[in-house]
Amino acid sequence: MRREPREYRTLDKDLRRVTHAERAVLHSARPLWRIGLALIFIAAASYVGTSLFAGQPALGILAAGMAVAAYLALSIGGNDVANALGPAVGAGAIGMTSGLLLVAGMEVLGAVVAGSAVTATLTEGLVGSTLGEGEATARMMLAALLAAGSWISLATWLGAPVSTTHSVVGAIAGAGLATFGLGAVNWPAMAMIAFGWIVSPLVSALMAAGLLALLRRLVMDRRDRVAAARTWMPVVVGLASAMLAGVAELAWHGTGLAANAALALACGALGWLYTRRRLRQQARAGAGGRLAMKQLLAVPLAAAALVMGFAHGANDTSNVAAPLTIILDSLSAGGGGDLRARLVLLLGGVGIALGVLLFGRRLVHMVGSRITRLNSARALCVSLATAATVLGASLLGLPVSSTHVAVGGVFGVGFYREWRDRRLAANRPPLPAEERRRRHLVRRSYMRMILGAWLVTVPAAAALAAAMVRFAGL
């Protein structure tokens, strides 16, 4: 066989080396591209805000508030996407990139359609006595925004899924105390919010455990799991679709019980029909065993992740919209009206969605795979419980922590599995203590780390905001 000239072989090697070097540069530059896109969004938000409200007093504070609100929205998106997408990705039911894109879209929709109730609670209820103080109130909220965003970014970098709601509420309280004293905070409202923080993860844990027990009874423990799943999975998707449509209509228009029920039933029927069609396609593909079960559960699991994305947008956008609304009200920027409120919600929703796409991958991996091992069935229970709890809180106007709720659901599933394993092993010889610890399905180290982050978040964000007021001149 004729050998090609040496210079061509050398050139070919050099070209391959250049190609590898170019790929390495592109790979190493990805974080810089993400940060660059985030900075462009922050600058654009500040520019648009100052353009819309040009001629208002204290325009510098307004521009800074818009920029910091955009930064906080990016931080929330990067930190909280794990709540919606972690279980689905951990179970392998949806790809990371496609899941991030779909959830980002639902975040924007939830913010614009159903974000006003919780925003009103945080705006009027938490620091109502400080409203109307002009520039002092605006400076207080600017400090709160900056402190909350800084704390959330630090937690995201450390891989700790802290609560953005805790961060924002703690920062508002700390900035208010440093600016106006003890009377700045509505302590009964603060107590009600804290009560919701305690109850919501417990509700999610119990609901997730109950759903898993029901799913095992109806599907997993049946002799023909595949046939049982084909019967019940369309029902699950139909109920999720009906719940999402009912909540969205009630939050957007609230036209009445009859119209709301009709829309919910129609969307539920469409979800049921779509799932039945997808399952028939999967059946014709001929998959069997574990692969068939994974495919059957993937459709409802993806639907639950989308509902959770909508719920997160509806509830957690208030963490951005409420402080920014107070800044605009304090500076009398642009007057009142529904249009400005929708624009503020849109800014928060788009910022959160962009944060999901740019910075959400790391915590998705942690929540979905490191707390407890999730298969499709367990992940479905976590997602449904989280979505239902957060949507219910959003309807009530209660700013709960979606991180609390999501991780509570993961813990509920893990502890239920431990309880079930102990029950099944009651008639077996007892295992050594070391072996029992090794078989813990909820990793205690991660649970302690997350609980510690929750406990530290409120005082840390409050102290950081107070320090900014005292020492940074905000």
CA dist 162 and 319 (Å) reads: 14
CB 210 within 8 A of CB 388: no
Q: Which of 54-63, 224-233, 250-259, 286-295 has the lowest mean pLDDT?
A: 286-295
CA dist 354 and 211 (Å) reads: 32
What are the backbone dihedrals phi and psi of residue 426, each rounded to the nearest 5 degrees, phi first? -65, -30
**DSSP string for 371-411:** SS---HHHHHHHHHHHHHHHHHHHHTT----HHHHHHHHHH
Task: Dump pLDDT digits (tens) for 327-344.
Answer: 887 776 555 556 677 788
Task: Dump pLDDT digits (tens) for 417-471.
Answer: 888 877 776 666 665 665 555 555 566 666 677 677 778 888 999 999 999 888 7
Q: What pLDDT does 389 receive?
A: 93
CA dist 431 and 417 (Å) reads: 17
The residue ranges of every structural domain in the chain are 35-471
CA dist 356 and 164 (Å) reads: 14
Q: What pLDDT does 471 receive?
A: 75
Task: Dump pLDDT digits (tens) for 64-123.
Answer: 888 988 988 887 887 677 667 766 776 666 788 888 888 889 989 888 888 888 888 887
Q: How buried is residue 404: exposed, middle or buried, by Cβ count under 10 Å (0-12/13-18/19+)?
A: buried
CB 469 within 8 A of CB 178: yes
Mean per-residue pLDDT, 375-404: 85
Q: What pLDDT does 309 receive?
A: 87
In the three-class reduction of DSSP (H, G, I as helix; E, B as strand; rest coil), residue 304 is classed as helix
| Dihedral angle of Cα 285, 93, 101, 449, to the nearest 10 degrees | -170
Q: Which pair of structure tokens corresponds to residue 333?
A: 């920027």
Q: Which pair of structure tokens corresponds to residue 153?
A: 């970014």
**DSSP string for 199-231:** HHHHHHHHHHHHHHHHHIIIIITSSSHHHHHHH
Q: What pLDDT does 269 receive?
A: 93
Look at residues 421, 419, 418 and name the one whose alpha carbon lies nearest to residue 443: 418
Q: What pLDDT does 396 receive?
A: 84
Q: What pLDDT does 212 receive?
A: 92
CB 116 within 8 A of CB 254: no
Q: Which pair of structure tokens corresponds to residue 349?
A: 């929703």
pTM (predicted TM-score): 0.80
pLDDT-based confidence at residue 204 (cuts at 50, 70, 90): very high
Residue 385 pLDDT > 80: yes
Contacts of 267 (CB under 8 A, 6+ apart): 241, 242, 244, 245
Query: What percent of the chain is modeled with pLDDT above 70?
Result: 74
CA dist 196 and 315 (Å) reads: 13
Q: What pLDDT does 21 receive?
A: 45
Contacts of 410 (CB under 8 A, 6+ apart): 86, 87, 208, 367, 371, 372, 374, 382
Amino acid present at 138: A
Residue 12 pLDDT > 90: no
**Cα radius of gyration rounded to whole Å, the chain:** 25
CB 449 within 8 A of CB 158: no
Q: What pLDDT does 15 receive?
A: 47
Task: Dump pLDDT digits (tens) for 184-202.
Answer: 788 888 888 888 888 998 9
Mean per-residue pLDDT, 379-389: 87
Neighbours of 349 (CB within 10 A): 29
Most confident of 144-158, 267-281, 355-369, 448-462: 267-281
pLDDT-based confidence at residue 7 (cuts at 50, 70, 90): very low
Contacts of 172 (CB under 8 A, 6+ apart): 122, 126, 127, 141, 144, 323, 465
CA dist 78 and 367 (Å) reads: 13
Task: Dump pLDDT digits (tens) for 339-367.
Answer: 677 788 888 899 998 988 887 776 676 65
Task: Dump pLDDT digits (tens) for 220-251.
Answer: 888 888 888 888 889 988 988 888 888 888 77
Residue 126 pLDDT > 60: yes
CA dist 205 and 449 (Å) reads: 18
Mean per-residue pLDDT, 171-186: 85
Q: Which of 20-29, 67-76, 281-290 has the lowest mean pLDDT?
A: 20-29
> What value does the mean pLDDT of the chain take?
78
| Dihedral angle of Cα 441, 443, 444, 450, to the nearest 10 degrees | -130
CA dist 18 and 97 (Å) reads: 28
